[in-house]
């Protein structure tokens, strides 16, 4: 009897640590690779040590990754490791490329070369691949207009994963996450998820800088829904060689979100209004019928998600 074995790159990050907790809860064991550039050890410290192995390593360390993959038998591989900041990708396009694309192809190549028997590999892509395509809501078949190094590498890695799947019979799937929020999202950068910034401002009585008038809309997706979608796609053998939007299917404005936060916390957010951020899209909404056809239903609308987030503690 052996436990189902998972590998999560970016495992100490926001989504990775939430996924790791769920996998452990469901009885699996998991290896987490993270260089802690964005992730934090405290995100995973509470997890059962007998089931979790943490490697403080960069996924760009190809020798390390190759050896790890050969040594361990991973049933499921989830590629979340990335330079998550679009702004950083613009500042450091090549360094981003090494993390967001080359590191992923090295993992795929190792699986191919050594004929590793993986039940499913999931690559986490992003709504960023749609770029400035004005069509709403975004479907997986909508035009791709990646406008930043981040988006280009996400799209390339997505295609590599799916193409390796087709060419070399490695079961792969890709997801395009929309604006994910929830516990352990790091609010420290101005390009962090806006909800983590708003929460931080409300908790610590800081002024929130609002870019625009608050009428911009996003499909804010609670991290538990993302974790559920990821696990559903990993376990369903029909979910192969395809990409799935992961979102709630319902967008709300920043103004509405702020009002919901204020109501739950019974506190007013101090706002400084600034011009719209360059490169921002005004509206973002997702069509999730492909994911729903696999049986997914979002459990958390914005009110339910924010309530859980605010009361989560860690």
With binding defined as CB under 6 A, does residue 209 bind ligand UD2?
yes
Binding mask 128-157 for ligand UD2 (x = CB under 6 A): x-----------------------------
User: Given candidates 169, 280, 312, 314, which one binds ligand UD2 under the rule CB under 6 A?
Assistant: 280
Name the residue nearer to ligand UD2 (CB basis): 93 or 171. Answer: 93
- Kindly state the tokens that stand for 222: 């609670």
Shortest reach from residue 159's CB to ligand UD2, in Å? 17
With binding defined as CB under 6 A, does residue 179 bind ligand UD2?
yes
With binding defined as CB under 6 A, does residue 202 bind ligand UD2?
no
Stretch that binds ligand UD2, among 107-115, 166-174, 189-197, 265-273 (CB under 6 A): 189-197
Residue 220, classed as helix, strand or coil, is: coil
User: Given candidates 265, 281, 292, 310, which one binds ligand UD2 under the rule CB under 6 A?
Assistant: 281
HSE, CB side, 13 Å, CA atoms: give it for residue 93: 6
Residues 6+ positions from 81 with CB-CB distance below 8 Å: 9, 10, 11, 13, 16, 33, 34, 59, 99, 103
Stretch that binds ligand UD2, among 11-19, 28-36, 163-171, 209-217 (CB under 6 A): 209-217
Name the residue nearer to ligand UD2 (CB basis): 155 or 164. Answer: 155
Q: Is 207 exposed, middle or buried (0-12, 13-18, 19+ CB in 10 A)?
A: exposed
The residues in 110-129 that bind ligand UD2, with binding defined as CB under 6 A, are: 126-128
With binding defined as CB under 6 A, does residue 99 bind ligand UD2?
no
With binding defined as CB under 6 A, does residue 239 bind ligand UD2?
no
User: Given candidates 29, 138, 184, 218, which one binds ligand UD2 under the rule CB under 6 A?
Assistant: 218
Name the residue nearer to ligand UD2 (CB basis): 119 or 159. Answer: 159
Rounded CA-CA distance 72/82 in Å is 22
Rounded CA-CA distance 28/14 in Å is 19
Name the residue nearer to ligand UD2 (CB basis): 38 or 210. Answer: 210
User: Given candidates 4, 110, 211, 264, which one binds ligand UD2 under the rule CB under 6 A?
Assistant: 211
The answer, yes or no, to whether the previous bond of 73 is cis (omega within 30 of 0) is no
Q: How far is CA 235 from CA 4, 18, 76, 174, 218, in A?
A: 12, 18, 9, 13, 28
With binding defined as CB under 6 A, does residue 161 bind ligand UD2?
no
Q: Would the CA dihedral through 128, 134, 137, 143 be positive or negative? A: negative
Reading phi first (left if > 0) and then psi (alpha if -120 to 50, else beta), residue 131 is in left
Cα angle 220, 224, 227; round to 5: 105
User: Given candidates 32, 254, 257, 291, which one binds ligand UD2 under the rule CB under 6 A?
Assistant: 254
Write out the residues near ligand UD2 by the rule CB under 6 A. Answer: 86, 126-128, 179, 190-191, 193-194, 197, 209-212, 216, 218, 254, 277, 280-281, 284
């Amino acid at each position: 009897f052996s436990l189902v074995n998972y590998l999560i790159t970016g495992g100490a990050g926001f989504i990775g640590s939430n996924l790791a907790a769920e996998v452990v809860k469901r009885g699996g064991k998991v290896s987490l690779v993270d260089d802690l550039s964005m992730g934090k050890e405290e995100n995973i410290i509470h997890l059962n040590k007998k089931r979790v192995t943490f490697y403080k390593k960069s996924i760009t360390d190809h020798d390390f990754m190759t050896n790890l993959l050969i040594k361990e038998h991973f049933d499921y591989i989830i590629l979340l490791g990335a330079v998550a900041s679009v702004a950083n990708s613009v500042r450091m396009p090549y360094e981003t490329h090494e993390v967001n694309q080359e590191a992923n192809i090295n993992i795929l190549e190792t699986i191919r070369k050594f004929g590793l028997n993986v039940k499913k590999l999931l690559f986490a892509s992003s709504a960023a691949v749609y770029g400035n395509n004005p069509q709403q809501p975004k479907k997986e078949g909508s035009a791709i207009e990646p406008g930043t190094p981040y988006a280009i590498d996400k799209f390339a890695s997505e295609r590599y994963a799916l193409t390796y799947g087709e060419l070399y019979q490695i079961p792969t799937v890709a997801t395009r996450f929309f604006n994910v929020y929830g516990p352990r999202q790091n609010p420290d950068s101005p390009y962090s998820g806006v909800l983590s910034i708003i929460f931080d401002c409300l908790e610590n009585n800081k002024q929130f800088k609002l870019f625009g008038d608050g009428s911009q809309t996003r499909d804010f997706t609670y991290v538990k829904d993302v974790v559920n979608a990821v696990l559903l796609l990993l376990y369903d053998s029909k979910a192969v060689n395809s990409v799935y939007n992961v979102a709630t299917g319902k967008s709300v404005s920043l103004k509405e979100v702020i009002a919901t936060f204020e109501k739950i916390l019974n506190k007013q957010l101090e706002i400084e209004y600034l011009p719209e951020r360059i490169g921002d899209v005004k509206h973002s909404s997702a069509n999730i019928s492909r994911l729903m056809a696999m049986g997914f239903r979002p459990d958390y609308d914005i009110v339910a998600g924010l309530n859980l987030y605010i009361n989560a503690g860690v």
